[in-house]
Every structure is written in structure tokens, then in C-alpha cells.
Amino acid sequence: MSEVNNPLGLVGIEFTEYATPDADYMDKIFTDFGFSKLKKFKGKDIVHYNQNEIHFLLNNERGGFSAEFAKSHGPAICSMGWRVEDAQKAFDIAVERGAKPATDSANKDLPYPAIYGIGDSLIYFIDVFGDKGSIFENDFEDLEEQNIVEDKGFIRIDHLTNNVYKGTMETWANFYKGVFGFEEVRYFDIKGQKTALLSYALKSPCGTFSIPINEGKDDNNNQIDEYLDEYNGPGVQHLAFLTNDLVGSLDKLDKTNIATLDIVDHYYDTIFDRVPWVAEDKQKIKDHQILVDSQSENCYLLQIFTKNLFGPIFIEMIQRVDDGGFGEGNFQALFESIERDQERRGVI
């Protein structure tokens, strides 16, 4: 086995922080997804939500980094905390390897060492977790009014996808590769009839999450350009929550306002011929409009996408059965499915 290039000692994601002009709306989304509202950062209006290994921070401060971020982007993911063995050391090495330090305390809402990431969001380095304790125990206090809700089976963040300006995908890929030791795992050139995009998937050196990066092709208001306009810059387009039982998670989401993308019925005419080894109830997959994909025999993944949920950002929910892909088979299947429909209607 080749030696893993992990210069910062990265071991996973500790938290994702949200900036928003509408905290009540974000609170409702988190609650709908099964996150319990538990704590707040001592002395600041930064609220901690949790479900299994996923920790969210909702920053409601009126001033500071997150508030400024919300002013320029609307609802957004303004920072993440990444687990490392030694936070100060990781920060020093990251800066040495070319990352831009966020040293001005006015530009940070949290006291952990941080560098600038995509779209000038922050990446904090966190070294208190597991056997060493927890920042949520040390630096946060229980809310007087907690809201503990039923878990909906979401275990951790599987991947988070970035949208960037045309011609900058390589630069951003090199940032993740050069500073952190991410590795390229997939390269896609996805063509619709009118629009196209390039996507480049990177896996973290710890193997616990991935960062796909998208850029649009041509000037035709493709979905990436539309995002960049609305968000006012590059940033996180979607987060994917991993579940071991997507049907069960969706059953629990049924009574909420979370809306998922509609899939044409014809999708299900062929998908189970393509992936016959799906173990789940096929009718339930169809009822929930779940997408199915497979890289090889007896491996598959199930996935579903919400409609845009906050600003131009959406959530994916994914279940993996020995499949490390991103559902690339669905791009083409969806496209072909739409074309068959167009043919049926005599449009093409």
C-alpha cells in the first residue's frame, strides 16, 4: 500500500458552521432533518446542533465574520472545523504550504487556528475530540431550552461539493491537494444538450470525506454559473449526509417540508435492469423517487437531492453499499430519460 500523504494529520470533519440572515428558517431545516439543538458557544450566539457524528453550528451573531459572510452571500456555509492531531502545528504547516492564515481575531468568531478556504470561508483546525475531550464540552454550554428531536439516521458528512468560476477548478483542486494532501478520485465531463460542466472529485487523506469541485462550461447560464451569480462567488453547492437506510430516513422526513427533486417515472423503467442487485424494496425506492447507481456488480448507492434549500444550496442524502461513486451513472440516465420523454411528446 502506498504511504498516505497527510501533511496536516487530518482525520475528519468536526463541524460545519452556517451563516444566515434567517436563523429561524435554518433552525427549522435542521430540526426537520433530525438534528437536536443542544448548546451554545460560551458568550456568543452560536448554537450547536447534533445528530450522530454530524455537528452543525448556527451563527446568529449580529457582527463579526459570519454576519459579514451572510451579508455578501445570504445563507451560506461560512466555516468548517477539521479534525487534526495538533491544531497549531496543522495551522503552521498549512501556512507554510501556501494557505492564507486567518489570524485577525476580528475575522474569526471562534478561537481555533484557522486558514481561508474556498470563497474566503474559514477552515478551523480542531484537536480536541475523541479521547482528548470535546470542544462542545469545553467551550459550549447547554441551552436553557434544548430541542431534542428524533434522529433520522444521518451518520456523517459524506462529501461537500464546491462550485467555482470557470478556469479555477484546477487552482482549487491544487489547494486541497497541495495544502492537505487530498487525492483526485474522479474526473467527469458531464454534457446535457444545452449545457455542460466539469467536475473533479477529491478524497481527503484520512478517507472520511470527499470534496467534488464543479465548474461550468461555456457561457450559457449552466447550473454552476447560476449558483455563482446567486451566491455571489464560489462556495459550497451541496452537502451530502450519509445514512445506512435511505428509505427509513426518507420515511421519517415525509411529514416535514423538505422537498426533493422529482424524477421522471421512466427512470424506473430501466434502473433495476441496470442495477438488479439492489436489496431494498423497489416500490419504496420508486415511491420516494430515490436514484440508484452502481460502479460494479453487487455494489450500489442510493441517493436523493433536495430542491434548493437555503439560497442556492441543497442537501443530498446518500446510502452506500460498497460503492464509492457519486452517482455519475444518474447524470446520463436522467438525461436519457428526459430525451425519451421528449421523443414520446414529439419534441425531438
> Given the rule CB under 5 A, which residues bind Fe ion?
240, 316
Query: In sequence order, what DSSP letters do the residues of 65-96 get, joined into one string?
Result: HHHHHHHHHSSEEEEEEEEES-HHHHHHHHHH
CB closer to Fe ion out of 26 and 240: 240
Q: How far is the CB of 161 from Fe ion (least distance, A)?
A: 5
Alpha-carbon distances of 51 from 16, 25, 345, rounded to whole Å = 12, 18, 45
Using the Cα atoms of residue 84, residue 86, residue 87 and residue 90 in order, give the sign of their dihedral: negative
Sheet holding 122-126, edge to edge: 114-116, 122-126, 76-84, 10-19, 54-59, 46-51, 36-41, 140-147
CB closer to Fe ion out of 94 and 157: 157
CB closer to Fe ion out of 293 and 316: 316
Q: What cell numbers appear for 266 in the block?
A: 421512466
Q: What are phi and psi of 290, to 5 degrees?
A: -80, 140
CB closer to Fe ion out of 120 and 316: 316
Tell me how long the chain is: 348
CB closer to Fe ion out of 316 and 323: 316
Q: How far is the CB of 160 from Fe ion (least distance, A)?
A: 8
Q: How far is the CB of 159 from Fe ion (least distance, A)?
A: 6
Q: Where are the beta strands (DSSP E) in 269-313?
A: 291-293, 300-305
CB closer to Fe ion out of 66 and 237: 237
CB closer to Fe ion out of 90 and 240: 240
How many Cα atoms occupy the beta-carbon half-sphere of 38 within 13 Å?
16
Burial of 69 (0-12, 13-18, 19+ CB in 10 A): buried
Q: Which residue is nearest to Fe ion (CB)?
A: 316
Among 82, 162, 96, residue whose Cα is nearest residue 127: 82
